[in-house]
Structure 1
């Protein structure tokens, strides 16, 4: 049994937070003693954290101000390996580990395309973290754990990081018995009592996700009775609703907010679409594949090409090309739903918790077993 620590900002609704909560559970399942530490605390995924995972909250008002408390915690508690996630948290963890004498046991992870993600958050301290992180990544003893080959290559190509400064570990997206599970009932009225074709997407209502392109593509579909649901919340809600109104599809478009069980919604849909401009390793795409529902994705950096085996599993289209996206969606809707179902399930299986956790254990402690 190894004593392992995961360091996060909080357990909010982001994909990284969800995956770290799942990773903590998978590490416990593999026979390890796991603590999940939050620099601040709380978040939607806190309630779903496995009770076997020890939870620590520093309640710092900002991540950067958590350095003293995190340093004291690391000095007082010895772990075999420490894993931080997200760039600004990585910087805080590196400083605290250096001050506490635990740098040799610290591992940090990048969850998204660094060259794109660094421009998303306008917060001054977060932008400073992105500036100094690549230099720190060259100096720390352990390679940066990246969620896909594309994220690793992007970090090498666009920063000071070298090839030897990165390694790869898959996200633990799915339960090990996902093939045997029966999806729950959807809650959205268009899916619970279907009267026509329903297309779904899942993600933050942010420019990264390309939902504006998806709405334009949806408006161009030949099926004028089809409906589009985007599950998620974010700053672009009003803009996306206005766009749908301007395109004349407002009555067939819905933004219901976050879904309690997104897999149930996706499983009941006719097609899932990932319209992102960039990703790291899109968990929503893997989850959609696991339901067997037909999918379409953009060939965005990074992740979809790897997950969909270059387009062999499902169509890949250019980023910000609504006409190509509409054509791909229409094509998927025109063929039998189960035509490539097995291929979709097989592609998803790589991201089962039991498989993914072994890649993390190898990266953290040099052994794929506990």
Structure 2
């Protein structure tokens, strides 16, 4: 049995937070002792945390102010491996590990395309973290764990990080028996009582997700009965609704907010679309594949091309190309639903708990043994 520590800011509604809770559970299932440390505390993803995982909350008002407390915790508790996630948390963890003499056991991870993600949050401390991170990544003893080959290459191509400074591990997105589970009942009225094809997308209502392009593509579809549901919350809700009105499709576009069971909604849809401008390794795309529902994705940096094996599993279109996206969606809607279903399930299986856990064990311990 090994002792693992996972370090996060909190358990807010983000893909990285959800994946770290799943990783913690997979590590416990494999017979390990796991502690999850939150620099602040709480968050909606707490509901996904295995009760066998120990939790520690530092309740720091800001991430950087957690460094002394984190250093004290690391000195007082010895772990075989320490894993931090997200750039600003990585910087804090590196500082605390250096102060506590545990840098040799620290691993940090990047969850998104660094060259794009660094422009998202304009806060001064976040910008400083993104400026410092590449230098620290070059100096720390263990390579940065990236969620896809594209994310790893992006770090090498756009920062001072070298190829030996990065490695990869897959997100544990799915339960091992995902293919045996029947989907839940969808909640959206358009999926409960269909009067035509329904497209579903899931994600924050933010520019990164490219939902403006998706709405334009939906409006360009020749079938005027197709409907689009985008599950998620975010600051772009008013702009997206206004765009739908301007394009004359407001009656066929709905933004209902978060859904408690996105897999149930996607499983009932006729097509899932990932329209992102950039990603790391999009979990929503993997979850959609696991339902067997036909999918379409952009060839954005990074992740979709790797997950969809460069278009062999499902169509890939260029970013911000609404006509191409509309054409790909139309093709999927006019293709029998069962076509390539087994291929989609096989592509998703790589991201089940057990195989994904092995990639993390290899990255953190140098072998796939637990």
TM-score by length of 1: 0.99
Partner of residue 343, structure 1: 343
8 Å Cα contact 2:172-2:352 kept in structure 1: yes
Partner of 2:178: 178
Query: How far is the alpha carbon of 1:48 from its aligned partner?
Result: 2.3
Q: CA deviation at 1:196?
A: 1.2
Could you say which residue in structure 2 is the equivalent of 1:328?
Answer: 328
CA distance in structure 2 between the partners assigned to 1:190 and 1:335 by the alignment: 21
Q: Residue 83 of structure 1 aligns to a residue in which SS? A: strand
Offset, 1:318:
0.5
Aligned residue number for residue 244 of structure 1? 244
Q: Give 2:28's aligned residue.
A: 28
2:116 counterpart residue number: 116
Return the offset for 1:365: 1.2
Q: Tell me the equivalent position of 1:290.
A: 290
Structure 1 match to 2:107:
107
The alpha carbon displacement at 1:129 in A equals 0.2
> Equivalents in 2 of 1:359, 1:53: separation in Å?
20
Task: State whether structure 2 residue 189 is matched by structure 1 residue 189.
Answer: yes
d(CA) in 1 for partners of 2:40 and 2:221? Answer: 45
Moved more, 82-91 or 234-243: 234-243
**Could you give the per-residue CA deviations for residues 132-191 of structure 1, whole angstroms, max 9, x where no partner exists?**
000000110000000000000000000010000000000000000001000000011111
Return structure 1 stretches of 4+ with deviation > 4 angstroms.
none
Corresponding position of 1:53: 53
CA distance in 2, matches of 1:77, 1:248: 60
In 2, the alpha carbon distance for the partners of 1:242 and 1:21 equals: 36
Aligned length: 370
| Aligned equivalent of 1:157 | 157
For normalisation by structure 2, the TM-score amounts to 0.99
The separation in 1 between residues aligned to 2:257 and 2:369, in whole angstroms, is 39
What is residue 38 of structure 2 aligned with on the other side?
A: 38
- Map of 2:255 onto structure 1: 255
Aligned counterparts of 2:123 and 2:193: Cα–Cα separation in 1: 43
| 1:79 aligned onto 2:79 | yes
Cα separation, 1, equivalents of 2:62 and 2:254 = 35
Shift in Å, 1:229: 0.3
Note if 1:265 corresponds to 2:279: no
Determine if contact 1:277/1:301 at 8 Å carries over to the other structure. yes
CA contact (8 A) 1:28 1:53 kept: yes
DSSP-derived class of the 1:167 partner: strand
SS of corresponding position for 1:11: coil
Q: Kindly state the Cα deviation for residue 194 of structure 1 after the two structures are TM-superposed.
A: 1.5
Preserved CA contact (<8 Å) 1:30 1:369: no
DSSP-derived class of the 1:277 partner = coil
1:354 aligns with 2:331: no
Rounded Cα–Cα distance in structure 2 between residues aligned with 1:20 and 1:350: 17
Q: What is the aligned partner in structure 1 of residue 214 from structure 2?
A: 214
Q: Distance in 2 between matches of 1:330 and 1:57?
A: 48
| Alpha-carbon distance between aligned partners in 1 of 2:277 and 2:343, rounded to the nearest angstrom | 25
Q: Secondary structure at the match of 1:323?
A: helix
Is 1:81–1:105's contact at 8 Å kept on the other side of the alignment? yes
Are 2:228 and 1:228 aligned?
yes
What corresponds to 2:199 in structure 1? 199
- What is the CA–CA distance in structure 2 between the aligned matches of 1:237 and 1:34, rounded to whole Å? 38
